[in-house]
Amino acid sequence: MALLSVLQYPDPKLRNKALPVTVFDDKLRQIVDDMFETMYEQNGVGLASIQVDIPQRILAIDVSDSRKEPLCVINPEIIHREGIQYEHEGCISFPGVYEKVERAAKLRLHAMDLHGKSFEIDAEGLLAVCIQHEMDHLDGVLFIDHLSRLKQERMRKKLEKIRRQTF
């Protein structure tokens, strides 16, 4: 097991797009182990491979209170979406900023597990938000991209201020 370093905005690598996983071997298991270790260490509810500079379609998710319900999602596809929810989101790649983002309220996900076996789950609430947020990362999309121009500009100034205080 190893902790991975999480890319911080505005690292251009966060705009990379991930390719489907085709080989389900020990190396993949190692990546997934390391992603979960990193996600738990960061107190995140999810982590996308792109955030740790691994451009394969892998998500580590745990939205449980116990932090003991890991959900490994490989090659995800949303096959149904329903309704709208509008909730505050944060991102490990953007420490200290939160904004409301519009997402589907419910969805049905088709994905593969660590062994390459297909499964489907229904999600709503935080799990649905998290799945959509993480899947965006796999295509180089960030939660700020969903904000209005005005809110993006406000966010940019806030991030500049945080960066000045940090360095």
Q: Which residues of 16-98 form beta strands (DSSP E)? A: 46-48, 58-61, 71-89
Structure tokens at 45: 């509810």
Any contact of residue 52 with Ni ion (CB under 5 A)?
Answer: no
DSSP E strand stretches across 30-153: 46-48, 58-61, 71-89, 99-112, 118-124
* 134 is annotated as an active-site residue: yes
- Is the peptide bond between 10 and the residue preceding it cis, with omega within 30 degrees of 0? yes
Pick what 44 binds: ligand GNR, Ni ion, none; C-beta below 5 to 8 Å, kind-dependent. Answer: ligand GNR
Q: What residues numbered 44-83 form the site for ligand GNR, per CB under 6 A?
A: 44-48, 51
49 near 13, Cβ under 8 Å?
no
Site string for Ni ion, 82-121 (x = CB under 5 A): ---------x------------------------------
Give the residues lining the site for ligand GNR (CB under 6 A): 44-48, 51, 89-93, 129-130, 133-134, 137
Give the residues lining the site for Ni ion (CB under 5 A): 91
